Amino acid sequence: MSSIKQVIEVLASSEKSFEDAVQRAVQSVSASIPNISSVFIKDQSCKVRDNRIVEYRITAKVSFGTPVAEFDMSDIERTFAEAPEPAGNGAPDYSHVAIKTEPELPREVEPGGSATEPESGGGYSG
């Protein structure tokens, strides 16, 4: 059985240690998200005051998720069964596709002009 995991990034801190900061992160996240499977410590830092560490900080990626049932192949088989048959020479059959031969423009366009002149629709018009 395979699984899908989701990951969130959290910041946590503690006055005691990095380990305590990680534990606080897990406790906080687990209050609203079940099935936490792992914690990856992305970054660690400390806040210093008067040449002493006063706070341990972490940035952690918390993974969680639930097992996913085996993939149902019937959806794929049905999709292939409904696919259009190729034309006789093996090329895709586009006979059912409406092809536009004229561009849809909001106004008539005269041939010529300049791409930088405002009168032609280009450049920096005032």
Q: What is the mean pLDDT of the chain?
A: 75
Spell out where 36-82 has E strands. 36-49, 52-67
The reported pTM is: 0.50
pLDDT of 23 reads: 95
Q: How many residues does the chain have?
A: 126
State residue 6 phi and psi, 5-degree precision.
Answer: -110, 150
Tell me which of 97 and 15 has the higher pLDDT.
15
pLDDT of 71 reads: 45
pLDDT digits (tens, 9 = 90+) for 22-80: 999 999 998 888 888 899 999 999 999 999 999 999 999 999 886 555 445 555 454 44
pLDDT of 5 reads: 82
Q: Domain extents for the chain?
A: 3-67
Helix (H) and strand (E) counts in the chain: 2, 3
List C-alpha distances in Å: 64 to 3, 5, 9, 123: 10, 5, 12, 52
Statement: 3-67 belongs to CATH 3.30.1660.10: yes
Residue type, 50: D
What DSSP designation does 16 have?
Answer: S
Q: Which helix (H) or strand (E) covers residue 71, if one does? A: none
